[in-house]
Each structure stands twice: as C-alpha cells, then as structure tokens.
Structure 1
Amino acid sequence: MNYQIDNPNTNSMPDFDQVLVWSVLLLLSIGLVMVYSASIAIAEAQFGANNSGHYLIRHVIYLALGMLLGLAAFQVPVHLWQKYAIFLFLIGMLLLVLVLIPGIGREVNGSQRWISLYVVNLQPSEFMKLFMIIYAADYVVRKAAHLNSFYKGFLPFLVIIGAVGFLLLRQPDFGAAVVITALMIAILFLGGIHLKIFAGLLGLMAGGMFVLIYVANYRLDRIVGFMDPWADPLGKGYQLSHALIAFGRGEWLGVGLGGSIEKLFYLPEAHTDFLLAVLAEELGFVGVATVVILFAILVVRALAIGRQAAKLECHFAALVAQGIGLWIGMQALINMGVNMGVLPTKGLTLPLMSFGGSSITAVCFALAILMRIDWENRQRLRGASI
C-alpha cells in the first residue's frame, strides 16, 4: 500500500519513537540494578557466597533472549501477525493444556504454571497475553459488522474468553485470567462494541471475580489480609505488612542503593513480585515516582501509536498497539497496587523490571511488535511502500 501525506516534516522524522525507546531502556536498566540488589541475599543463601549474582546473570540471559526474539519479531510485517492470529491463539491454547499434564507441567508453590525446557522454564500464560491481544484485534476487525450482534459477534468471543479463563484457573493463575479478560473487554470497547454489551461484560467480569474469590479460601484469605494486614502480621498479612514497612523506611530519598533490610529474608519474593517495595526502601518516593512516570510515558506512547495507526486506517495495528500499551500499564498498575497495599496480594510481576524469564521475554517480544507498528506508521506518513 502507498500512503502520501503532504507534510514537509515527514522526511526528517526519525524511524522510531525515541521517547518510547528511552522509557523502555530506562525501565530495563533500573530493573537490572534492582533485581541484583534485591536478590543478593537469597542467591547467597541458595547457591553460596560466591554466587551472589546468580539471579542477575539469569535475568541478563532472559533479557538478551527477549531482545533477540524482539529483533526477529520486528522484521515481521504487521499484516502477517493478522494473517496468522488464529494459529498463535491455537499455539497458546495448546501450551495452556500441556502445562496441566503431569510430567510436562512443573509445579511451584502449589501452582502448575510452567513447562520445563530443562535450561529454562516456560510460563505459557505470559505469552498467551500477547497472543490473545493479537487474536482479539483480528477478531474485532473481521467481525466489525457483527460486533453488536449477540450471536454472531459477542457470544463466540465470550466462549473463547471462558475457555482461556478455565485453563488459566486450572493452574491456578487468577492474576493472568483477570488481566487477559480485562484486555479482551478493553479491545472490544476500542473496537466499537455497543455500550450496553460492554457494561454487561464488566458486570459479568465483576460477578465472576466475586464467585471465584468466595469459593476459594486462599483467595478470600488474601482479601482479608489485604483489608487489615496488621491484624495478622505473621500470617495472612505477612507479605503486605513487610512491603509497607519497606515503603515507610524509604521515605523521600530512600536508605541508599543496597541498603534494604526487608530484602534480607523478611519480604518474600523480593526480586520478583515485590521488587517495587525494595526499590521504595532503597530509592524512596523519588525512585518510585520515576518508575511510575516512565510506565505512564510508555503507555501514553503506545496509545498514541495506536491512534496514529487508526488515522491511517490500519485498524488491526491500532488495536494491537493499544492492547499492548493497556497490558503493560494494567499489569504495572496491579503490581504497584499490590506492593502499596491498595490491591490484594497477587502474583503478577512488574513488567520490564521484575525477575522472571517468561515475563520479560514476552514483554520484549510485544514491544518489538509495537515498534514495528510505529515504524510502519512512519513509512506510510513518508509515502513509502510497505
């Protein structure tokens, strides 16, 4: 396709969104430093004093793998992602089924969410988030004429969400199920679904969450512990109370990089789910505010790229870009809320920063697709052929 827009400034326009790239690089850099700081004590305890950098080395390897996969993903034209959206969805579903099979799926802390690849562990739910964004964007574009029809547009999509949610809850991975369901509803809304159906979906989601929390004692315990962590600081409120202590100790400027006490076996999952609490203790309010601003910039740029694609009538690309931005923003918001005691404790990593191979790899992969969309937007604005 060939687009020409009469704008003398388009020829001097850079090939990529520099603000987006720098916000991503800064988040990755801060995450790298904080993963090392938060994991030194646990690495020494698990692997010996000479292996204090164990988690840092693995984090760097995962990050390098994510960048290599991202580089490959950037080479793929956006229309091919749309063409093979159904196959990505089916691959994701297959992985979600395989992870539940004894002997293939690996269980950690009572959850069977990983597939052992011997060298690394693959967490299918992290990649399923991206696959579902791509599939949902393709579905909305294909079914645009029937989107407000209950039987032709809405019902098939609801069945798909239910099937994915069922497999995730079998692991169980309640956090991923909530994120994916919310993303699907958001993409339907962005695609132009009727407000009544959208409101009904929100109500259905809220009702489903209430039932799932009520019927599972451990989820209910988390809600109770979240409401008043100090009522049982050595039991249900243990994690949250120590996260709040970390935030309190950090004050404005923190106790200094490497000076956290909470990471010394007081705060569980300090280098993964509760990395922000360690950052708050060591770098204070200023450090946390910097991270929040960088995530806000990333999300705003992703939504802007999607809006530009929509103006160029690339509706699939627009929905994918906005979906990726909402995914990263939503997961970051949930993780921050959990760390600050605003939301109940849930095992979701902080994108681009927390230790977690599948998480950081999947997000790097997704950001490469986002940058490809941005690159294609800029080529169209210049009037180049794609």
Structure 2
Amino acid sequence: MSFYARWEKRLSTREHALDGWLILAAAVLVSLGWIMVTSASSEIASSLTGNPYYYSIRHGIYVLLGLLCALVTMRVPMSWWRGNGPTLFLGALILLAAVLIVGREVNGARRWIPLGVINLQASEVAKICMVVYLAGYLVRHLERVRFTWWGFIAPLGLVAGMGALLILEPDYGATVVILATCMGMLLLAGVALWRFLLLSCGVVALGVFGALAEPYRIQRITSYLDPWANQFDSGYQLTQALIAFGRGGWSGMGLGNSVQKLFYLPEAHTDFVYSVLAEELGLIGAVGVVLLFALLVFRAFKIGRTAELTGRLFSAYVCYGMALIFGAQAFINLAVNTGLLPTKGLTLPLLSYGGSSMLISGVMVGLLLRVDGETRAYRQSAQRARRQGYSEAQSEEIGLQGREA
C-alpha cells in the first residue's frame, strides 16, 4: 500500500477527521508564502518605512486572521450558506458598486474600500458570494439548467452584471476568474456540451473585445508578445520577471539572495512573488509550488465529488467553485510570471502579500473542510445505522440527520 493510500485510510477511519492532504497543501503554501514575502519585501520595506520586516509582520497578521477565518467558517453549517446565497450575492453587488463610489484608487484602478487598518478588495468577496449563490441556483433549477437555454443563460446574466461592475473598476483579471468559474460550475452541473461550447465562443469573443477596448490593455498584449522590444517601457515588468527565472536556474540563488527584488522587479512581494521564489529556490522550488496548487485543487474536487455521491449537491457545487477559483487564479498568476499570459494584477492565493486575498482564501479553505467534515459525519452516521440493522433507506435518513454534527 502506498504512503498516500495508508494516510488516506488512516484519516478516513478517524472520527470526524479532515482531509490531511488539503490541509498540508494549504499550510505549506501559506508558510512558503510568508517566507517569500519576507524575502521579497525586505528592501522595499526598509526603503519606505525603515523597517525591513514591515510587510512581513503585516503579512503574518493576515495569515493569522486567515486562519481565524478558516476556523470560524468551519463552524458554520452548509445549510446557512445555502439559505443566505441570494443575500450574499446581493451584498457582493453592493460592495462592487460601493468601490466605484468610495473606493481607493491605486495605479489607476479603483478596487479597494479603505477600512482603516485594511483595504477590502471587493472582488475577492464577490468570488465566494458568486459561487455560493450559483451553487444554490444549480440545486434549485438543475433540470432547467441542463435542458433549457433559459435555465443555462439566466445565472450567466447575473454573473455578467457582476463582471460589468468589475470592468468599471477596472479589474479584468477578477472578471476572467469569476466568469471562468461560473462556466466551469455550469459544465460540471451537466449542461449540454454543445450549449456550453456555443456560449463559450461568445464569452471568449466578449473577452477579446474587452481586452482590446482599452489602449493600456493593447499595450500589455503587444508587450507580452515581444517584451524585449520595449524592455525599459511596457515590457519592463515581464523582462525583469524572466530575468529572475533565468538567474534561478535549477536550484536557485539561495533564500534571500534575489537580485531582482532590489527595486528591479515591481510588485516583487505581491503579484510577482513567484518570480522571486523561482530566482531564490530555482526550478525545483517553482515546480514544487505548481504541484502544491495541483494537490490543493485536486483535493477540493475530490471533496466535492464525494459530497455529490452522497447526494449533497449544494456542498459539491461549492467545492467545485472553490477548486475552480484556486485553479484559475493560480494558473493566471503563474502564467503571467512566466510570460505565458499578458501582465495582469492578480494575486497568487495563499502565497502573495495581500490582506483581502489571504482572508478570503482562509474562508475558502474553511468551506472545503466544512464540506469534508459534514460528508464524513454523514457517511459515519449511515454506516453505524447499517451495522445496527437499519434498512438502506433508514440509514440514509439517519446519515442526513447527522451530516451537520
């Protein structure tokens, strides 16, 4: 029996045990992120504040708050999320509208609501609210979604409204993540493939139009195609990131020895912390991060699939949505860092510096663990009932009654 299988068996036989692989992936990413934020931000923090650990301390506080959010979320039953899905979605729309009125502008974008000690990024909150609402919608109208055009398009219309507010900020990256997550959840719910492909073509065409609608986005695309042609202008950030990857080689320059973080690479501790990681830890460290995200996304899908097999569709769709958000956002950030996609300001979940991102990531991990705990409780209650001689139908009912224990 493999090491993975032995640990999985041990976890599944413990009372109310949680998914150890999910916890391991999230914990390692958070720990590695704190280390890399400390390394990548030391010079700029020393220059701006006189304290090289300024951003490290703040990030550590965000990590603790993210852990608290995860623990609190684990105490909230999934029935509460299902019952409040429409309210959460409406609240997200209000937040996105409020950003346009009272939001703080940074680098030409108005994406944050100042709350004193922290700037709340409304798009991060909107991602979770969208997933929770859409999961509830899919459960209520599953047949319509699968077999009618209106059932398929109606939720997309609401999400498109959310995307329109994001474009006005502008936050093109968050818009792509939210729309991709919505489309992915609809596909996993069993939408007819031909409907999905037809609408996907329309969404892609709309995305291309949005990418070409603003001059700065066109400039980013042209710089992405040949960053070295304007390496001291529009291609500066990408060329510096690529230099970091080249310097890192196989094993890296060593922790703390990055040169690109010395004011060469902009946003070194936020959007481009992965480039600093690749420079200091090399290809081995960079691939390790990719594998950790792959494990995190895989376990999220596995938890969702297990919930779906036990008939808990709302919890399953929430897990699928969380997996898609983690996967899409990580893919976009890593692709931007490596030059596979045009430069876009999007944090790397659990790893980049950012209070809103860390808190919402904590909530997402907490939701996954809550679903996992409820599913395990359901299965254990049903198994005990079968051992006590109850019929299959009675065992299932007992399991349903104990799923939120």
| TM-score in terms of structure 2 length | 0.90
Spell out, residue by residue over 1:15-59, the C-alpha distance to the aligned partner (whole angstroms, 9 max, x if none). 1011110111001000000000000011011111xx111101111
CA distance in 2, matches of 1:201, 1:142: 22
- 1:332 maps to 330
CA distance in 2, matches of 1:340, 1:162: 29
Q: 1:10 to 1:283 in 2, by over 3 A?
A: closer
- Measure how far apart 1:12 and its partner are: 3.6
Q: Superposed, which structure 2 residues align to 1:191-210 within 5 Å?
A: 191-210=189-208
Runs of 4+ residues deviating >4 angstroms: 7-11
Out of 100, 106, 113, which is 1:115 matched to? 113
Q: Superposed, which structure 2 residues align to 1:144-223 within 5 Å?
A: 144-148=142-146, 150=148, 152-223=150-221
Instruction: Identify the structure with bigger relative contact order (alpha carbons < 8 Å, sequence gap 6+).
Output: 1
Identity percentage of aligned residues: 45
- Give, as a single letter, the amino acid of the residue that structure 1 aligns with 2:89: F
Q: 1:235 to 1:8 in 2, by over 3 A?
A: closer
Instruction: Single out whichever of 359-368 and 60-69 deviates more from structure 2.
Output: 60-69
Secondary structure, counterpart of 2:104 in structure 1: strand
Secondary structure, counterpart of 2:100 in structure 1: coil
- 2:6 maps to none
1:70 aligns with 2:80: no
Tell me if the contact between 2:16 and 2:373 (Cα under 8 Å) persists in the aligned partners.
no
Tell me if the contact between 2:38 and 2:55 (Cα under 8 Å) persists in the aligned partners.
yes
1:318 aligns with 2:316: yes
1:288 aligns with 2:290: no
- 2:396 maps to none
- 1:230 maps to 228
1:79 aligns with 2:79: yes
Secondary structure, counterpart of 2:344 in structure 1: coil
The two structures, once aligned, show a CA RMSD in angstroms of: 1.5
Tell me if the contact between 1:10 and 1:381 (Cα under 8 Å) persists in the aligned partners.
no
Tell me if the contact between 2:147 and 2:192 (Cα under 8 Å) persists in the aligned partners.
no
1:39 aligns with 2:41: yes
Secondary structure, counterpart of 1:246 in structure 2: helix
- 2:307 maps to 309
CA distance in 2, matches of 1:253, 1:10: 37
Secondary structure, counterpart of 1:115 in structure 2: strand
Q: 1:146 to 1:46 in 2, by over 3 A?
A: same
- Measure how far apart 1:201 and its partner are: 2.2
- 2:54 maps to 54
- Give, as a single letter, the amino acid of the residue that structure 1 aligns with 2:192: H
1:356 aligns with 2:354: yes
CA distance in 2, matches of 1:353, 1:151: 39
- 1:4 maps to none
Spell out, residue by residue over 1:284-316, the C-alpha distance to the aligned partner (whole angstroms, 9 max, x if none). 011111111111111111110011001100011
- 1:95 maps to 95
Tell me if the contact between 1:10 and 1:382 (Cα under 8 Å) persists in the aligned partners.
no
| TM-score in terms of structure 1 length | 0.95
Secondary structure, counterpart of 1:147 in structure 2: helix
- Measure how far apart 1:195 and its partner are: 1.3
- 1:29 maps to 31
CA distance in 2, matches of 1:239, 1:150: 46
CA distance in 1, matches of 2:15, 2:328: 30
Secondary structure, counterpart of 1:122 in structure 2: strand
CA distance in 1, matches of 2:362, 2:191: 30
- Give, as a single letter, the amino acid of the residue that structure 1 aligns with 2:241: A
- Measure how far apart 1:155 and its partner are: 3.2
Secondary structure, counterpart of 2:275 in structure 1: helix
- Give, as a single letter, the amino acid of the residue that structure 1 aligns with 2:277: L
CA distance in 2, matches of 1:300, 1:13: 23
Tell me if the contact between 1:225 and 1:237 (Cα under 8 Å) persists in the aligned partners.
yes
Q: 1:281 to 1:10 in 2, by over 3 A?
A: closer
Q: 1:200 to 1:151 in 2, by over 3 A?
A: closer
Tell me if the contact between 1:43 and 1:53 (Cα under 8 Å) persists in the aligned partners.
yes
Tell me if the contact between 1:213 and 1:220 (Cα under 8 Å) persists in the aligned partners.
yes
Instruction: Single out whichever of 113-122 and 149-158 deviates more from structure 2.
Output: 149-158
CA distance in 1, matches of 2:26, 2:160: 33
CA distance in 2, matches of 1:262, 1:218: 25
Secondary structure, counterpart of 1:241 in structure 2: helix
- 1:269 maps to 267
Spell out, residue by residue over 1:123-161, the C-alpha distance to the aligned partner (whole angstroms, 9 max, x if none). 010111111111111111111121145564123213202
Secondary structure, counterpart of 2:175 in structure 1: helix
Tell me if the contact between 1:303 and 1:325 (Cα under 8 Å) persists in the aligned partners.
yes
Tell me if the contact between 1:141 and 1:191 (Cα under 8 Å) persists in the aligned partners.
no
Out of 93, 103, 106, which is 2:104 matched to? 106
- 1:18 maps to 20
CA distance in 1, matches of 2:163, 2:316: 25
- Give, as a single letter, the amino acid of the residue that structure 2 aligns with 1:53: Y
Tell me if the contact between 2:139 and 2:314 (Cα under 8 Å) persists in the aligned partners.
yes
Q: Which runs of 5+ in 1 are unaligned?
A: 1-6
CA distance in 2, matches of 1:245, 1:324: 33
Tell me if the contact between 2:147 and 2:191 (Cα under 8 Å) persists in the aligned partners.
no
- Measure how far apart 1:118 and its partner are: 1.2
Q: Which runs of 5+ in 2 are unaligned?
A: 1-8, 382-398
- Measure how far apart 1:230 and its partner are: 0.5
